[in-house]
Amino acid sequence: MTDLANFDWNSFWINIWAGLIFFILGILFSIWLIPRFTLRLMRKRNKTFLKRKLASIIRELCEFLICSPFKDNQLNHEHLSIFTNKKDIDNFCFVGLCPINVFSKISYPKMSLVIYEYFKELKPDDSYLELSKEYSRLKNFRTEIEKILAVHSLYIDDKLILKISDLCSDIRAQELKYIINLEYDELLEKTNSKRNGIFGVNELPTIYEKILLLIKEISTLKYFEYQIDIKK
């Protein structure tokens, strides 16, 4: 009884509460740190793999622009050559050729003008045919990008995934809107009328702008480097 009476209960409870607080903080810190550390470690170990996946996305973006019918001497006066970073000389390689200088502010409004002028010079039926081809290209392009994201999204930055996914969502939304043209076809056939216009041209500049911005963002990542060349 004497020992219990002389026992320092204040120190005992202080140690208990201090230990409990540090225990809880340790759990919370572990919950926050371990996933971040694990993800960072995975990305570090899969750096080469990540570079290849991003390079695949760049190639798809550049290939889409190269095959685009919307070209102009001023718009395509400069092009962008993208390579992997020379610091990793063992894996250094050419990634893709963008036929438009995405770092030029003029390229973005010029891209819109070229699209509008392209369709402006065509007759309604020809415009419909060309727009159909473009939406077919967009669908194939979206499918390829979504395949890369579906298999390898773990190795790509979350913000970048959102931007790429946003582009795919925009393309899909425009594909659904394009169906209006098919309904319009049925109406023209029933009324024996001629085509006066088409639906879906106004949305193309927004999609192209997002493609240009994605190339710009990915090519400036630490895994890549680029050079701007003037078309001769």
| Edge-first strand listing for the sheet containing 78-84 | 94-98, 78-84, 224-230
Contact 17, 181 (CB under 8 A): no
Q: How far apart are CA 144 and CA 147, in angstroms?
A: 5
Q: Give the pLDDT score at 24.
A: 75
Is the pLDDT score of 3 beyond 60? no
pTM of the predicted model as reported, rounded to 2 decimal places: 0.76
Name the more confident of 25 and 176: 176
Identity of residue 174: Q
User: Which of 56, 53, 98, 97 has the alpha carbon at shortest distance from 213?
Assistant: 98
Q: How far apart are CA 225 and CA 202, in angstroms?
A: 33
Q: What band does 110 get if pLDDT is binned at 50, 70 and 90?
A: very high
Beta bridge partners of 100: none
pLDDT in tens, 37-51: 666 666 566 666 777
Q: How far apart are CA 101 and CA 106, in angstroms?
A: 9
Q: Is 198 exposed, middle or buried (CB count within 10 Å of its CB: 0-12, 13-18, 19+)? A: buried
Please give the structure tokens belonging to residue 204: 């193309």
User: Which of 66, 70, 91, 69 has the alpha carbon at shortest distance from 81?
Assistant: 66
User: Which of 132, 130, 110 has the alpha carbon at shortest distance from 120?
Assistant: 130
Specify the pairing of strand 94-98 against strand 78-84. Answer: antiparallel
Q: How far apart are CA 112 and CA 206, in angstroms?
A: 8
Q: What band does 32 get if pLDDT is binned at 50, 70 and 90?
A: low
Q: How far is CA 50 from CA 145, 152, 153, 214, in A?
A: 15, 8, 9, 16
